[in-house]
């Protein structure tokens, strides 16, 4: 089954880079940077506001859109393309097609999210905002040009490696993480969890998967997750934002953000470890349920009886 899943993964990943899809994908990756550049032009941002906007733009938009396109119609494309009979007549074929395409969705989402982070930090004001924390995708000359006088560049260049090491140690000691690192973690978690969620949605509602997934995301992951009720604890967004906010230990300055993130109903009250376990369990149960459904359901391809 693993080798079949990997075969599907290799095949689907290769075929997922069509011209149209790639152009759309690049646009999605660049979208947060373009938006941030516009924000830079007209507003002054603070770390907490930038962190929120980035979370909404990169894992919340780049990853989600990538997963939506890559994962949700995984079953309907097989059925509509009349390819299902060939999948269903392979040993573990149903499971292999699901896991193979799941891995493709996670990979594409990870690449998109990480590329978006890699582009947005050096190209926008986030560069200056995070000068006090290590920046993995930033050269020493960029740091110098953005916040220092020319005569200071040399000393910063010489001391970059040292300062990174010191800062990393400090961060590890205090258990909070820089914005970029928290975002990378969020991208990884979002890719794994939302791919699993959309996999399940695509399995249940295989006839209109995209529409169903969009409606579900808007209602459950956007509206319900931000309602100060117990039901928001059933959404992935609730746990992911709790992990994200807690991992950075942000000092909130914006009143709106204070109102949201200091309200105990908006964030999980468990520890980060429990939140991670819960999110992992959710992703696993989504995949398990999808696989169980897929293996036990009958699918009719074409109109002939």
Q: Which stretch binds other proteins (CB under 8 A): 10-18, 23-31, 37-45, 47-55?
A: 10-18
Greatest alpha-carbon pair distance for the chain in Å reads: 80
26 belongs to the binding site for other proteins (CB under 8 A)? no
Spatial contact of 64 and 216, defined as CB atoms under 8 Å apart: no
Q: Binder to other proteins among 20, 81, 150, 255 (CB under 8 A)?
A: 81
Instruction: Tell me: does residue 27 bind other proteins (CB under 8 A).
Output: no
Closer to other proteins by CB, 89 or 273: give it: 89
Nearer to other proteins, 102 or 194 (CB): 102
Give the separation between CA 36 and CA 58, rounded to whole angstroms: 11
Minimum distance from residue 295 beta carbon to other proteins (Å): 6
* DSSP helix/strand/coil, 297: coil
* Residue 176: CB minimum distance to other proteins, A: 45
**For residue 118, what are the CA distances in angstroms to 24, 35, 179, 235, 237?**
18, 15, 12, 28, 23
* Residue in 8, 71, 182, 250 binding other proteins, rule: CB under 8 A: 8
The runs of H, that is alpha helices, within the chain are 2-15, 19-42, 47-57, 64-70, 74-80, 84-88, 93-123, 126-129, 140-147, 150-174, 179-204, 209-216, 236-248, 255-261, 272-296
Write out the binding residues for other proteins, residues 276-295 only, by CB under 8 A: 295
Q: Does 30 help bind other proteins (rule: CB under 8 A)? A: no
Positions touching other proteins (CB under 8 A) are: 3-4, 7-8, 10-11, 14-15, 18, 77, 80-93, 96, 295-296, 298-302, 304-305
């Amino acid at each position: 089954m693993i080798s079949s899943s990997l075969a599907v993964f290799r095949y689907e990943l290769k075929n997922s880079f069509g011209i149209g899809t790639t152009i759309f994908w690049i646009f999605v990756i660049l979208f947060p940077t373009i938006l941030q550049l516009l924000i830079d032009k007209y507003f002054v941002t603070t770390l907490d506001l930038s962190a929120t906007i980035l979370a909404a733009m990169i894992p919340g938009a780049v990853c989600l859109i990538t997963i939506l396109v890559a994962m949700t119609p995984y079953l309907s494309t097989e059925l509509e393309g009349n390819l299902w009979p060939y999948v269903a007549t392979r040993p573990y074929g149903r499971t292999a097609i699901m896991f193979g395409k799941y891995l493709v969705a996670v990979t594409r989402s990870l690449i998109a999210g990480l590329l978006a982070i890699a582009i947005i930090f050096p190209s926008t004001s986030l560069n200056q905002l995070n000068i006090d924390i290590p920046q993995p995708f930033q050269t020493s000359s960029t740091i110098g040009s953005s916040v220092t006088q020319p005569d200071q560049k040399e000393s910063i260049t010489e001391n970059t490696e040292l300062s990174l090491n010191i800062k990393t140690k400090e961060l590890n000691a205090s258990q909070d993480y820089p914005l970029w690192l928290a975002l990378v973690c969020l991208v990884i978690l979002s890719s794994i969890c939302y791919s699993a969620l959309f996999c399940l949605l695509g399995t249940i509602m295989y006839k209109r998967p995209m529409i169903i997934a969009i409606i579900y995301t808007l209602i459950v992951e956007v509206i319900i997750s931000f309602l100060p009720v117990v039901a928001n604890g059933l959404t992935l967004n609730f746990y992911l934002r709790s992990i994200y906010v807690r991992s950075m230990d942000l000092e909130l300055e914006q009143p709106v953000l204070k109102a949201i993130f200091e309200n105990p109903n908006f964030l999980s009250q468990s520890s980060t470890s429990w939140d991670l376990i819960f999110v992992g369990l959710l992703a696993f149960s989504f995949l398990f349920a999808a696989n169980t459904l897929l293996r036990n359901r009958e699918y009719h391809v074409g109109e002939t009886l």
